[in-house]
């Protein structure tokens, strides 16, 4: 498998259009990388052919400059004559290996003449031919794809270069939001929150854009490294919350990054609204971290629809109530009931509930009454530089207006 840059959304739409027009089972765009064709994007039932983005495909021992088509499986290397339609017949060289009934492919060439890759279709039983409407349609769509890629590629490279420069320069800077125990108001530690240069935009936008560019793992790991540098500046009894997506957790990179730090002081916060496709793989990755002493939090509970699944499958040490539940909890019985239910769930699973986004004294009073264990928010202490506030004679500041929405941390 080869790691690829993500393709623009318009390319994915064109692949779906090609699959529909030709009435085939799967359509893919492959890219020529180092002399090898690598599938960059698929539309349709690619799994039934045993391929997916990142799979490499050999289109035959004989290279054809104009394209390929195949029908029923035949010995590799068997070729046929030119059809006069802009494609060349190549019997079974792809379809035989992938178990397809038939195959049709045409090259994709960028506006400057550089070969990009191949636009290919596979069908389990439908006959595809290089003659007639199917080939003409695929050639036309390959031209549209090439135009789209020619327009998108310079912008894509520029955006990727900007993020790579940020990562190479050490990643985003960190600010730290204190976390307080309830009802004592003792500071327990802080959550590290990533901050980006002004021209990048807010943290959530930056992490989302990095994911679109295929740089989410690199950006998250760089942010975690920056956050961990704060540990020596925190009192030994203070913990540090670091954020990571499920993809980064499953990658195993976090275990490498924390190898030389006191892992028992770390709380790994996994955002609730990030999709988890493979819970067993996630459990295995978390077990590795837990054996090192890392505690796990499910972040933003209540913000999306995956919260209950995350709570059941991930068995978190901390349940972080999103600010959408905390806000106006003093005047909303439904929010109070949900907070009480989370506290009850945490009690049964040996966890703790941490409320995010506390903005008023009234909200804090209700959270304490509901049995919530910890809290953070601008009313208690806004994000800022180290050191953390001392616990001696700690009193909350006066209430003030709620800030903008929550941000994603490291």
Per-residue pLDDT band at 296 (split at 50, 70, 90): very high
pLDDT of residue 116: 85
At residue 164's C-alpha, the angle toward residues 161 and 165, to 5°, is 85
Tell me: pLDDT of 341 over 50. yes
pLDDT grade for 273, boundaries at 50, 70 and 90 = low
Q: Which of 375, 272, 264, 278 is nearest to 316 (CA)?
A: 272
Structure tokens at 287: 């077990």
Of residues 198 and 10, more confidently modeled: 198
Proportion of the chain in helix, strand, coil states, percent, rounded to 5: 35, 20, 40
76-98 pLDDT per residue, tens: 222 232 233 333 333 334 444 45
Dihedral sign for Cα 43, 44, 49, 50, please.
Answer: positive
Residue 409 pLDDT more than 50? no
Structural tokens at position 279: 């819970």
Residue 94, pLDDT score? 46
Q: What is the pTM of this model?
A: 0.64
Mean pLDDT of 134-142: 85
Strands 115-123 vs 26-33: parallel, antiparallel or unpaired: antiparallel
Nearest CA to 270 out of 301, 302, 228 is that of 301
Percent of the chain with pLDDT over 90: 42
Q: What percent of the chain has pLDDT over 70?
A: 77
Mean pLDDT across the stretch 133-153?
81
Q: What tokens were used for 309?
A: 């699944």
Among the residue ranges 72-86, 109-123, 353-367, the one predicted with the least confidence is 72-86
Q: How high is the mean pLDDT of the chain?
A: 80
Residue 289 has pLDDT above 80, yes or no: yes
Average pLDDT over residues 146-156: 72
The yes-or-no verdict on residue 275 having pLDDT over 50 is yes
Residues 6+ apart with CB under 8 A from 97: 58, 76
Give me the pLDDT at residue 388, please.
82
pLDDT band per the 50, 70, 90 thresholds, residue 62: very low
pLDDT at 84: 30
User: What CA–CA distance (Å, rounded) separates 123 from 67?
Assistant: 17
Confidence category of residue 351, pLDDT binned at 50, 70, 90: very high
Structure tokens at 67: 């394209």
Among residues 308, 240, 238, the alpha carbon closest in space to that of 268 is found at: 240
Q: Is the pLDDT of residue 229 over 50?
A: yes
307-314 vs 279-291: helix crossing angle, rounded to 10: 50
């Amino acid at each position: 498998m080869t790691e690829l840059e993500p393709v623009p959304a318009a390319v994915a739409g064109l692949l779906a259009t090609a699959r529909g027009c030709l009435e085939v089972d799967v359509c893919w765009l492959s890219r020529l990388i180092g002399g090898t064709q690598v599938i960059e994007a698929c539309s349709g039932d690619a799994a039934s052919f045993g391929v997916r983005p990142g799979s490499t495909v050999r289109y035959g021992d004989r290279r054809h400059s104009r394209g390929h088509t195949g029908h029923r499986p035949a010995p590799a290397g068997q070729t046929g004559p030119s059809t006069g339609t802009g494609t060349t017949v190549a019997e079974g060289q792809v379809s035989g290996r992938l178990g397809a009934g038939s195959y049709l492919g045409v090259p994709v060439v960028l506006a400057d003449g550089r070969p990009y890759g191949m636009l290919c279709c596979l069908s389990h039983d439908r006959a595809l031919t290089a003659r007639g409407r199917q080939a003409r349609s695929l050639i036309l769509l390959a031209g549209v794809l090439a135009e789209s890629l020619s327009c998108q590629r310079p912008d894509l490279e520029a955006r990727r270069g900007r993020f790579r420069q940020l990562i190479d320069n050490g990643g985003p800077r960190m600010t730290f939001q204190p976390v307080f125990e309830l009802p004592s108001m003792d500071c327990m530690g802080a959550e590290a929150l990533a901050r980006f240069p002004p021209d990048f935009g807010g943290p959530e936008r930056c992490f989302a854009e990095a994911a679109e560019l295929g740089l989410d793992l690199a950006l998250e790991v760089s942010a975690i490294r920056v956050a961990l540098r704060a540990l020596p500046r925190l009192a030994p009894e203070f913990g540090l919350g670091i954020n990571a997506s499920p993809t980064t957790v499953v990658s195993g990179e976090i275990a490498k990054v924390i190898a030389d730090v006191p892992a028992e002081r770390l709380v790994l916060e996994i955002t609730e609204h990030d999709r988890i496709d493979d819970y067993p793989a996630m459990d295995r990755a978390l077990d590795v971290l837990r054996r090192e002493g890392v505690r796990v939090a499910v972040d933003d509970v209540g913000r999306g629809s995956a919260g209950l699944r995350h709570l059941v499958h991930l068995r978190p040490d901390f349940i972080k109530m999103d600010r959408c539940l905390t806000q106006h909890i003093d005047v909303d019985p439904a929010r109070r009931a949900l907070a009480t239910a989370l506290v009850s769930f945490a009690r049964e699973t040996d966890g703790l509930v941490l409320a995010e986004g506390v903005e008023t004294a009234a909200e804090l009073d209700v959270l304490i009454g509901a049995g919530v264990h910890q809290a953070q928010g601008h009313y208690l202490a806004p994000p800022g530089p180290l050191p953390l506030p001392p616990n001696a004679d700690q009193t909350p500041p006066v209430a003030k207006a709620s800030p903008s929405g929550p941000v994603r941390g490291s």
